[in-house]
Structure 1
Amino acid sequence: MESIFPRNTGSNAIVRSHARPAVGLGVQENAADIPSLVQRATQAHQYGVWLQSNTASSPGLTPHGVDLHGISTLRRLPIGDIVNAKHTRYASFNDQKTHWAAMLIVMLPTRATCDALIDFFFENLSWVYRVHHAPTFMLDYEAFWGKELETIDIHFLAMLFSLILASGIRVTERYCVEHGIDFNELRENIHIWYSAIRQALSLGDADSNPSIEALQAMITLQHYLYATRKDNVIKLLLVSAVEGAHALGLDSESTSVNMVQREVHHRVWWEICVSDTYHAMSTQNPTLVQSYQSPVPAPLNCSDMDISASTITVHASDEPTEMSMNIARGQIFQVFNRLLMDHGAHLDSFEFVVSLDAELFDVMDQFPWFFKPKFAHRWAELSPEFHFVPWAYQLLNGCICMQRIRMYWPFITTKPDTAWEVIMAAASDALTVYQMIRGMQQRPIKDLQNCGIIYYQLFSVAVTLASLLLVHRPEFHNQVRVIRGRIETVALDLAQLSTEEVSPLASEQSKIIGEILEMYDFPSKVDPRSTNLLISQLRMALGGRSKLLGPDQAGATPRSDTQEPSIHTPDLETDISVLKADIHSASELSERFWASSTIQEIFTNIDLVCLGLEQNSLRSHLGIGVY
Structure 2
Amino acid sequence: MAGFGATGDQALIVPGADQAATNTSVSGQLVENVHMEAAVHSMHTRYHLDASSDLHRVTAGGPQSLNRAPSLLLPQILPLSQFSNLESNSLLDMVAVGDQKTQWKKLLVKLLPTRTQSDILLTYFIEHVNWIFQTVHIPTFRKEYSNFWDGEIEAADLIWMSLLFTTLSLSALYIPVNVVELVGLQRGSIRRYADTWHHASRQALHAGDFEEKPTLTQLQTFSVTQLYWYATNNIEALNSRMGQAIRNAQALGLHKDRMLASNVKEEMRHRLWWDLVDSDTPPLIQVHLSEVPFPLNCNDVDLGEDFARPHSLDEPTAMSMNIYRARVFQLINKALVSDPSSFKSYKFIVDLDRELLGVMDGLPWYFQLDADRKAKLFPGAYDFLPWQNHILRTCVSTQRIRMYRPFLADHTNNSFDKCLLAVEDALTVYKTLRDDEAVASQPKFYAQAYQIFSVAVTLAALLLVERIIPQAAQLRVDIQAMATDLGVLEDQASPVPVAVNGRSVLLRMIKLFEQGASCSPEDTERLVPDLSTILGGESSTRAYLGRRTGHGSQRQSSVVQVTPAAERGTSAQVQEYHTVADPVTNDQLSFDPMVEPGEGIFDFDEYQLEDPYGLFSWDMTGLLSDAAAGTRPS
Equivalent position of 1:307 in the other structure:
303
Q: Which residue of 2 aligns with 1:130?
A: 134
- For residue 360 of structure 1, the aligned residue among 351, 356, 362 is 356
User: Match for 1:227 among 216, 226, 231?
Assistant: 231
Deviations 1:188-227 (A, max 9, x none): 2222211112122212222231001111011111111111
Q: Give CA-to-partner distance per residue, 1:557-609, whole Å, 9 cap, x none.
A: xxx9x99x9873369746635459xxxxxxxxxxxxxxxxxxxxxxx9xxxxx
Q: Which residue number in structure 1 is paired with residue 491 of structure 2?
A: 499
How far off its partner does 1:62 sit? 5.2
Give the structure 1 partner of residue 177 of structure 2. 173
User: Partner residue of 2:4?
Assistant: none
Q: How does 1:431-510 map to 2 (within 5 A)?
A: 431-441=427-437, 444-474=438-468, 476=469, 478-500=470-492, 505-506=498-499, 508-510=501-503
**How many aligned residue pairs are there?**
502
Change (3 A) 1:312 1:258: closer
Kept after mapping to 2: 8 A contact 1:401/1:427: yes
Matched position secondary structure for 2:256: coil
The residue aligned with 1:139 is 143
Do the aligned partners of 1:343 and 1:568 also contact (CA within 8 Å) in 2?
no
Question: Which of 244, 250, 273 in structure 1 is aligned with 2:277?
Answer: 273
Distance 1:520 1:385, change over 3 A: same
1:514 matches 2:513: no
**Could you tell me whether the CA contact under 8 Å between 1:452 and 1:502 is conserved in 2?**
no
Correspondences of 1:528-543 after superposition (within 5 Å): 528-531=521-524, 541-543=534-536
**Is the contact made by 1:254 and 1:265 (CA closer than 8 Å) also made in structure 2?**
no
Confirm or deny that 1:569 pairs with 2:594: no
Name the one with the larger helix percent. Answer: 1
The Cα of 1:261 is off from its aligned counterpart by 1.1
Q: What is the match of residue 404 of structure 1?
A: 400
In the alignment, is the contact (CA less than 8 A) between 1:257 and 1:310 conserved in 2?
no
Residue 445 to residue 427, structure 1, CA distance change in 2 (3 Å)? closer
- Name the structure where strand makes up a greater proportion of residues: 2
Q: Which has the higher contact order (CA 8 A, sep 6+)?
A: 1
Q: CA deviation at 1:322?
A: 0.8
Separation (CA, whole Å) in 1 of partners of 2:110 and 2:502: 36
Relative distance call for 1:275 and 1:214 in structure 2 (3 A) is: same
List alignment gaps of at least 5 residues for structure 2. Answer: 1-12, 24-32, 46-89, 556-581, 595-603, 612-624, 626-634
Question: Is the aligned partner of 1:199 residue 2:191?
Answer: no
Checking the alignment, whether the CA contact within 8 Å between 2:264 and 2:305 is kept in structure 1 is yes
CA distance in 1, matches of 2:179, 2:448: 18
Q: Distance in 2 between matches of 1:60 and 1:316?
A: 53
User: Could you tell me how far apart the structure 2 residues matched to 1:488 and 1:571 are?
Assistant: 39
1:104, distance to aligned residue in structure 2 (A): 1.9
- The 1:108–1:64 alpha-carbon spacing in structure 2 relative to 1, beyond 3 Å, is closer
Q: Distance in 2 between matches of 1:57 and 1:210?
A: 32
- Residue number in structure 1 paired with 2:50: none
Deviation for aligned residue 1:112: 1.4
The SS at the match of 1:128 is coil
Match of 1:391 in 2: 387
Length-normalised TM-score, structure 1: 0.71
Distance 1:205 1:212, change over 3 A: same
* Separation (CA, whole Å) in 2 of partners of 1:273 and 1:554: 33
Corresponding residue number in structure 2 for 1:13? none
CA 1:61–1:539: 2 relative to 1, 3 Å = closer
CA RMSD of aligned residues (A): 3.9
Normalised to the residue count of structure 2, the TM-score between the two structures is 0.70
Seen in structure 2, the aligned counterparts of structure 1 residues 319 and 578 have a Cα distance that, compared at 3 Å, is: closer
Alignment partners' CA distance in 2, 1:57 and 1:160 = 21
C-alpha offsets along residues 487-541 of structure 1, whole Å, 9 cap, x if unaligned? 2222333334431266775364333322222222232543343246668987885
Amino acid at match of 1:379: K
> Aligned ranges for residues 182-331 of structure 1 at < 5 Å?
182-253=186-257, 259-276=263-280, 280=281, 286-331=282-327
Corresponding residue SS for 1:336: helix
TM-superposed deviation, 1:64: 5.7
Mapped to 1, the partners of 2:375 and 2:261 lie a distance apart of 38
Q: 2:160 aligned with 1:160, yes or no? A: no
Matches within 5 A, 1:574-589: 576-578=607-609
Identity %: 31
The change in CA–CA distance for 1:258 and 1:111 in structure 2 (over 3 A counts) is: farther
Contact kept, 8 Å, 1:410 with 1:548, in 2: the verdict is no
Larger deviation, residues 431-440 vs 507-516 = 507-516
Q: 1:428 to 1:378 in 2, by over 3 A?
A: closer
Say if 1:387 and 1:424 are closer, same or farther in 2 by CA, change over 3 A.
same
* 1-structure distance, mates of 2:345, 2:351: 10
